[in-house]
Amino acid sequence: MLLLCLAGTVAGMAVGATPGLSATVGLALLLPITFTLDPTTGLVLMGAFYMGAIYGGAFTAILVNAPGTPSSIATTFDGFPMTQQGRSEVAIIGITVASVVGGLVGVLGLATLAPLLANVVLAFGPQEYFWMGVFGLTMIAGIADSLVKGLAAGALGLLISTVGISPVGGEVRFTFGVTDLQGGVPLIVALIGLFTIPTIIDLMVAPEARSAAMAKEAEQRRRGGVLGSTLRTVLSRPVNLLRSSVIGTFVGILPGAGGNVANLVAYNEAKRTSPRRRNFGKGELDGVVAPEAANNAVVGGGLVPLLTLGIPGAPPDAVIYGVLLLHGLRPGNELFTEQGVLTFTFILALAVAALLMAPVGLVAGRGLQRVVVRAPTQYLAPAIAVLTILGSYAVRNNPLDVVLMVLLGIAGYGLRKVGLPPPAIVLGVVLGPIIETGLGQGLLSASDRALPWTSFFTRPLSLLIIALVVLGVLWPLLNRRKDARVRDQAHEEVAP
Amino acid sequence: MLSRRFRGGAALSAAALALTGCATQTDTGSAGAQEYPTKQVQYVIPFDPGGESDVTARLQQQALEKALGESVVVSNRPGGGGAVGWSALANSTAPDGYTVMGANLPHILLQPMARDDAGYQTEEIKWVYIFESTPNAFLVAKDSPYDTLQEFVKAAKKEKMSVGGSSSFSANHMGTLALNREAGIDLTYVPFSGTATASPALLGGQVDALMSYNTEALELQDQGAKVLAVASPERLPELPDVPTFREAGFDVVEGAWRGAAVPPDTPQPIIDELAAAFEQVNKNPQVRQRMQKLGFHIEDMGPAEAAEFTQRRQVDARRLLQQFGLMDK
Amino acid sequence: MRADLVAGSVLLLVAALFWVQRDYRPGGMAGTFPDVVLITLVVSGVWIILRGIVSGDRTHRPREVNLRILAAAGALLVGWALGMGLIGFTISSVVAFVAMATLIRRARPRPKTLAVDTLVAVAVVVVCFVIFTRVLLVPLPVSTLIGM
């Protein structure tokens, strides 16, 4: 059983590390194998695979700025700068700790609070999803240097997300005469385009920039002790780990959101409350710990609605749902009582997989890191390019996506040069569908009111999230002022 | 210096282009049925992995290999609610029987009607077989005051009610429109991205009722929801106490049908060969058992029957869309 | 200031491109959200342009990148993406891989380095091809001539 867990975790990490191959795709490929296994073995394999895949997505995010899955978007914000500074090993160790802790917290939530947490799912209506999306947009204030440019970049992302079929009404929009654009622009295509292609272009335009980082990394390895010092640093800030894990668990529970939202929210919260917030975006370890703790917590959280209500909390859970049904197991309360042994074996397997990520990550992950860091630039750049091309193709097996990815990437390179930050664009692409769907559904489901839009302001939970939105807008502004004051004081002290 | 090097690269790639020809498709040529199949068959699903269509294909894969005597690879080409895949099937797939694509009703009927340019016409999707269906089911929450469809309809005549369902221009959407027409009511249809987000909306009270599928209805019944009617011609064995819409006095028969299709110019002998294979798959006891466990109803419609069935549904669907002003111009 | 003007103009251009594509069914909800976004885009675009003009920061930063290399890099990537659909994954990728390696070396390609680069390229591409098509069952576009 332990071996099976290990196999699942490792395979999951490999698939997760490949951009374009999400946890869902991997699980679907595993599906025929589970037909031949008994339910427990099949579920253990899938659970371990799922856990590993989410963790694996961080490696490529850190090393080459290519998030392996949309759950590792925010990991690039500080992870890749750390690589550029020759601190990729520190980052890899950091995310390993984070993923293990996050995974365990999520599983703990699943095992102990599942029926209670299931109520959260039902309390969340379209209005709440809308406000949650708006809350997500407030992160722009934290990402961008210039507020108006951040806003503009976010709007660009929202616009990209409207290409294709409208979520409410089923109308086809903005296809520019290209039939295949009916399907819209997949998030992962936008993601690797906007993040990774500019990285490749940088490597082509200024290959010498990498040598300093390579030298630093080598020097650090000679000195040693990275493992111990990083572990101490990460574990000495338990609040960040726990906060991010809890955020991940909660967001994971919501069927309309998943790892892609959770990692961003956790990053933003970590940044907002950290005393080192000015370091965020420039290679702050806490900035990779937060998203990675959150996305692995999503695994456990996402299974809450599945096991209690039969509602998959995230796309990968749909595949696990299928396996349960095929073995004649109907989710719901009986899964916790009559089938309790099976259910708890599954949950236990998830926990074991989370723990296994530590040794596997520290060996295989650091091995990969060493290979990537030492690879000569003239081979590393084209190899990353091969990866992005394969990844964008594999999302939908469609050559158009490769072209879209490259075009978006070149555009992203240019936009970055004029101060429109690609992360804000990606934020828009992630949140656009959530906001638009919530808006449309909210208006329709409240159509018995004279003014349907008032329903967005009368539900108690909506009001709570609105308060968070207001806080989200004000807090960074206050922080800015405080930071400015600190800077001024520093100036005064330095001045003679 | 740089430009010279780059020109060299361009020349190189031009040479490669000439060498390989502009072809990425597998070779065409209309082989007769005698020598079909002789190589791997691609079974493409125009939806995301993990969905119901995808899971069905992966269930069938082994049995299909046995029936065809060649290996079968399942892959996905999702986008646009299936339209991206079907557009490729109709326009740029070799009609040699080595690419078979999953096809769904009512999707292939409604997309060409509702969209400016869906990329294909319903007639271009050439059926091989329709092998399963999931009828619509109509539900209300546990604490809803309505115990029968008639009570619900009566109430809906007085006040505005909302019905959730899975996506627009889907079986759930059409079922709601058909109920509106038959009962003379005006339910507001609220589309969700799938059953995973639609079901919580019913349980959480965000919508008054839910038009869903039999599969989801079973699940929600366990959660205490009340299934008021099913949109099949006969009662369903898994929900024996639930009346059909027709029994309740409303002529609504709606649901999703899944099958396999090939490009328009595929030779008839190949289609027959494939149809025979899918028929055999449907007879495989293991496949049957697994499909039933997932709640799918097994259907057996060969190429001619499936085409005729599609035509019949098309007339209905067009009338319904026209009545509600949802046709594209 | 230049950056602001460029950024603002790009935003307005994108907004205009999407605006002419607007074609919603009357009474539907497909237009509500994109219209709000388009308006936001136009407003912020105008704002950025105005800010650029008002602040009038005229510092001329030295151009830090070689434009010819930049153009070559862009062309290479676009060609690669198009080539994959046209002549298959393996051939397009080997060619582009070698081209990119040569571009990064910034030196006139000697037969020996070219041979080494090609060898590395073939190895990386073939390994990726086998993993994707055989293990992950991704139907990559292939060239009819060499069958992969």
Measured between beta carbons, the chain C residues lying within 8 angstroms of B22 are 86-87
Asked whether the beta carbons of residue C85 and residue B326 sit closer than 8 angstroms, the reply is no
Measured between beta carbons, the chain A residues lying within 8 angstroms of B76 are 396-397
pLDDT at A122 over 80: yes
What phi and psi values does residue B137 have, to the nearest 5 degrees? -140, 150
Tens digits of per-residue pLDDT, A304-330? 998 888 888 888 888 898 888 888 777
Q: For an interface test with A, which of C10, C32, C43, C100 has the most A Cβ atoms less than 10 Å from its Cβ?
A: C100
Asked whether the beta carbons of residue C73 and residue A205 sit closer than 8 angstroms, the reply is yes
Instruction: Give the up-direction half-sphere exposure of residue B158: CA atoms within 13 A in the CB hemisphere.
Output: 4
Asked whether the beta carbons of residue A125 and residue B118 sit closer than 8 angstroms, the reply is no
Strands B126-140 and B72-76, sheet pairing:
unpaired
Asked whether the beta carbons of residue B204 and residue A444 sit closer than 8 angstroms, the reply is no
pTM value is 0.89
pLDDT at C1 over 80: no
Q: What is the pLDDT of residue A218?
A: 84
CB-nearest partner of C29 from A168, A379, A389: A168
CB-nearest partner of C144 from B27, B75, B328: B27
Nearest chain B alpha carbon to C142: B24
Confidence of residue A478 (pLDDT cuts 50, 70, 90): confident
Q: What is the pLDDT of residue C65?
A: 72
Measured between beta carbons, the chain B residues lying within 8 angstroms of A166 are 168
CA distance A402 to chain C (A): 6
Cis ω on the peptide bond leading into residue B106 (within 30° of 0)?
Answer: yes
pLDDT at C27 over 80: no
**How far is the CA of A208 from the CAs of A27, A228, A383, C71, in angstroms?**
40, 31, 17, 19
Instruction: Give the up-direction half-sphere exposure of residue B159: CA atoms within 13 A in the CB hemisphere.
Output: 11
Nearest to A446 by CA among A171, B324, A438: A438
Nearest to B256 by CA among B175, B321, B320, B184: B175
Asked whether the beta carbons of residue B16 and residue C72 sit closer than 8 angstroms, the reply is no
d(CA A253, CA A243): 16
Q: What is the pLDDT of residue B22?
A: 38
CB-nearest partner of B49 from A28, A311, A327: A28
Asked whether the beta carbons of residue B20 and residue C91 sit closer than 8 angstroms, the reply is yes
Q: Which residues of chain B have pLDDT under 50?
A: 1-33
Interface of B with C in 109-138 (CB under 8 A): 116
d(CA A399, CA A389): 9
Nearest chain B alpha carbon to C99: B9
d(CA B211, CA A400): 35
- In sequence order, the β-bridge partners of residue B239 are B236
CB of A17 closer than 8 Å to CB of A59: yes
Binning chain C into helix, strand and coil, the percentages to the nearest 5 are 70, 0, 30
Give the range among A37-41, A47-51, B66-70, B71-75 with minimum mean pLDDT: A37-41
Q: What is the pLDDT of residue B28?
A: 39
Q: What is the pLDDT of residue B329?
A: 53
Higher pLDDT, B4 or A472: A472
CB-nearest partner of B79 from A125, A167, A398: A398
Nearest chain A alpha carbon to C66: A205
CA distance B308 to chain C (A): 31
Q: What is the pLDDT of residue C60?
A: 56
Q: What is the pLDDT of residue B24?
A: 42
The 3-class secondary structure across A189-251, one letter per residue, is HHHHHHHHHHHHHHHHHCCCHHHHHHHHHHHHHHHCCHHHHHHHHHHCCHHHHHHHHHHHHHH
pLDDT at A386 over 90: yes
Tens digits of per-residue pLDDT, A228-254? 889 889 888 999 999 999 999 999 999
CB-nearest partner of B2 from C69, C83, C88: C69
CB-nearest partner of C136 from A21, A205, A435: A21
Measured between beta carbons, the chain C residues lying within 8 angstroms of A171 are 24-25, 28, 30
CA distance C7 to chain B (A): 30
Give me the mean pLDDT over the C1-28 stretch: 88
Mean pLDDT for all residues in chain C = 89
pLDDT at C59 over 90: no
CA distance C111 to chain A (A): 16
> A269-279: buried (b, 16+ CB within 10 Å) or exposed (e) per residue?
bbbbebeebeb
**Cβ of residue C101 closer than 8 Å to a chain B Cβ:** no
Q: What is the pLDDT of residue B15?
A: 40
Q: Number of CB pairs < 8 Å for A and B?
A: 178
Residue with tokens 């998943």: A258
Residues 6 or more apart whose Cβ sits within 8 Å of residue B174: B106, B110, B254, B317, B320
Nearest chain A alpha carbon to B84: A180
Nearest chain A alpha carbon to C105: A378
What phi and psi values does residue C56 have, to the nearest 5 degrees? 55, 40
Asked whether the beta carbons of residue A394 and residue C25 sit closer than 8 angstroms, the reply is no
Higher pLDDT, A94 or A37: A94
Asked whether the beta carbons of residue A439 and residue C32 sit closer than 8 angstroms, the reply is yes
Asked whether the beta carbons of residue B84 and residue A182 sit closer than 8 angstroms, the reply is yes
Asked whether the beta carbons of residue A28 and residue B54 sit closer than 8 angstroms, the reply is yes
Measured between beta carbons, the chain C residues lying within 8 angstroms of A372 are none
Q: Is A454 exposed, middle or buried (0-12, 13-18, 19+ CB in 10 A)?
A: exposed
Confidence of residue A496 (pLDDT cuts 50, 70, 90): very low
Asked whether the beta carbons of residue C40 and residue A155 sit closer than 8 angstroms, the reply is yes
Asked whether the beta carbons of residue A393 and residue C140 sit closer than 8 angstroms, the reply is yes
Give me the mean pLDDT over the A436-462 stretch: 91
Q: For an interface test with C, which of A15, A156, A203 has the most C Cβ atoms less than 10 Å from its Cβ?
A: A156
Q: Which amino acid is at A373?
A: V
CB-nearest partner of C143 from B6, B12, B24: B24
Distance of alpha carbon B272 from the chain centroid: 22
Nearest chain A alpha carbon to B59: A32
CB count, 10 Å around CB of C147?
Answer: 10
CB-nearest partner of C139 from B12, B16, B75: B75
Measured between beta carbons, the chain C residues lying within 8 angstroms of A377 are 104
**Cβ of residue C93 closer than 8 Å to a chain B Cβ:** no
Asked whether the beta carbons of residue C79 and residue B13 sit closer than 8 angstroms, the reply is yes
Chains with ≥3 Cβ pairs under 8 A against A?
A: B, C
- In sequence order, the β-bridge partners of residue B132 are B258, B298
Q: What is the pLDDT of residue A297?
A: 95
Interface of A with B in 147-186 (CB under 8 A): 164-172, 175, 177, 179-180, 182-184
Tens digits of per-residue pLDDT, A209-227? 888 888 888 888 788 788 8
Q: Number of CB pairs < 8 Å for A and C?
A: 189
Residues 6 or more apart whose Cβ sits within 8 Å of residue A460: none
Q: What is the pLDDT of residue A449?
A: 86
Measured between beta carbons, the chain C residues lying within 8 angstroms of B9 are 76, 95, 98-99, 102
Residue B249 DSSP one-character state: T
Asked whether the beta carbons of residue B55 and residue A180 sit closer than 8 angstroms, the reply is no
The 3-class secondary structure across chain A, one letter per residue, is CHHHHHHHHHHHHHHHHCCCCCHHHHHHHHHHHHHCCCHHHHHHHHHHHHHHHHHHHHHHHHHHCCCCCHHHCCHHHHHHHHHHCCCHHHHHHHHHHHHHHHHHHHHHHHHHHHHHHHHHHHHCCHHHHHHHHHHHHCCHHHHCCCHHHHHHHHHHHHHHHCCEECCCCCCEECCCCCHHHHHCCCHHHHHHHHHHHHHHHHHHHCCCHHHHHHHHHHHHHHHCCHHHHHHHHHHCCHHHHHHHHHHHHHHHHCCCCCHHHHHHHHHHHHHHHCCCHHHCCCCCHHHHHHHHHHHHHHHHHHHHHHHHHCCCCCHHHHHHHHHHHHCCCCCCHHHHCCCHHHHHHHHHHHHHHHHHHHHHHHHHHHHHHHHHHHCCHHHHHHHHHHHHHHHHHHHHCCHHHHHHHHHHHHHHHHHHHCCCCHHHHHHHHHHHHHHHHHHHHHHHHCCCCCCHHHHHCCCHHHHHHHHHHHHHHHHHHHHHHHHHHHHHHHHHHHCC
pLDDT at A437 over 50: yes
CB of A289 closer than 8 Å to CB of A244: yes
By percentage, how much of chain C surpasses pLDDT 90?
Answer: 61
Measured between beta carbons, the chain A residues lying within 8 angstroms of B203 are 122, 309
Q: What is the pLDDT of residue C64?
A: 65
